């Protein structure tokens, strides 16, 4: 088991506030990169689970056929789980 990593968020914010405008932009860009990387890793994990992916694609078919009510929460979930990449993987 790996070591537990703790982050002193207050210190991070304090240090961030001391940076120049250009460095703050670099930090912000890196945070966006890490966020996208984390989301991609989560998507890959879902795609590797064939049973889960099958259920997602079944839900996609139900959604398209109108067997679910639409709403903001469902639409966000739909956008996250049913991507073009997932559909290509499922059809292989």
Same domain, 58 and 90: yes
Give yes or no for residue 85 having a pLDDT over 70: no
Same domain, 28 and 62: no
For 19-72, the pLDDT digits (tens) are 999 999 999 999 999 999 999 998 888 788 888 888 888 888 887 888 766 677
Residue 81 structural domain: 49-92
Give yes or no for residue 84 having a pLDDT over 60: no
User: Can you give the pTM of this predicted structure?
Assistant: 0.51
Does residue 44 belong to any structural domain of this protein? no
Higher per-residue pLDDT: 52 or 73:
52
Does residue 69 belong to any structural domain of this protein? yes
pLDDT at site 10: 93
Same domain, 26 and 4: yes
**Sequence-ordered list of residues with C-beta below 8 angstroms from that of 86, at least 6 positions apart, any chain:** 43, 46, 47, 53, 56, 57
Same domain, 25 and 57: no
Same domain, 63 and 30: no
């Amino acid at each position: 088991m790996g070591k537990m990593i703790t982050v002193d968020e207050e210190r991070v914010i304090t240090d961030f506030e001391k940076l120049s405008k250009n460095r703050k932009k670099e930090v912000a860009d890196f945070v966006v990169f890490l966020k996208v990387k984390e989301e991609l890793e989560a998507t890959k994990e879902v795609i590797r689970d064939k049973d889960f992916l099958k259920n997602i694609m079944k839900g996609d078919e139900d959604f398209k056929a109108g067997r679910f009510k639409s709403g903001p929460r469902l639409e966000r979930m739909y956008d996250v789980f049913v991507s073009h990449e997932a559909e290509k993987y499922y059809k292989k």
